[in-house]
Amino acid sequence: MELISTAIDSSEAAEHPKFASLYDEDGLLIEYIASGQPCANDYGVPGSPVWYEIEDITIDNVDVNGIGYTPKELASKFGKDLADEIIDYCHEDAYEKDWNV
């Protein structure tokens, strides 16, 4: 299953200081494409409701201010530490989203 979402849409570097170097004259826009596997969950008793949650989420692509990068390209462009921070931020955001399963 795939999710396309916005992780950051900010005009003030003070909102995301660890990403301050990524801001341009318009601010910072980080969007991503994530994939994951839907997994059925229930309360473990007969007749309990069943719901689906997404597991094994991976970030497949990240757009920074309109330019798309794979995780490897992101590390090459911005350095491993900053790329890891961006991927982690997107990963956390993806876990909080409603995937419409």
Show pLDDT as tens, one digit a residue, over the chain (101 residues): 999 999 999 999 999 999 999 999 999 999 999 999 999 999 999 999 999 999 999 999 999 999 999 999 999 999 999 999 999 999 999 999 989 86
Q: State pTM to two decimals.
A: 0.89
Within-domain flag for 23: yes
Contact 56, 37 (CB under 8 A): yes
Nearest Cα to 64, choosing from 40, 43, 44, 90?
A: 90
Q: What residue type is assigned to position 85 of the chain?
A: E
Within-domain flag for 51: yes
Within-domain flag for 61: yes
Identify the burial level of 64 via C-beta atoms within 10 angstroms of its C-beta, where 0-12 means exposed, 13-18 middle and 19 or more buried: buried
Within-domain flag for 21: yes
Within-domain flag for 22: yes
Instruction: Tell me the residue range of the domain where 55 lies.
Output: 2-96
Within-domain flag for 101: no
In total, how many domains does the chain have? Answer: 1
Mutual angle of helices 71-78 and 80-96, in 10-degree steps: 140
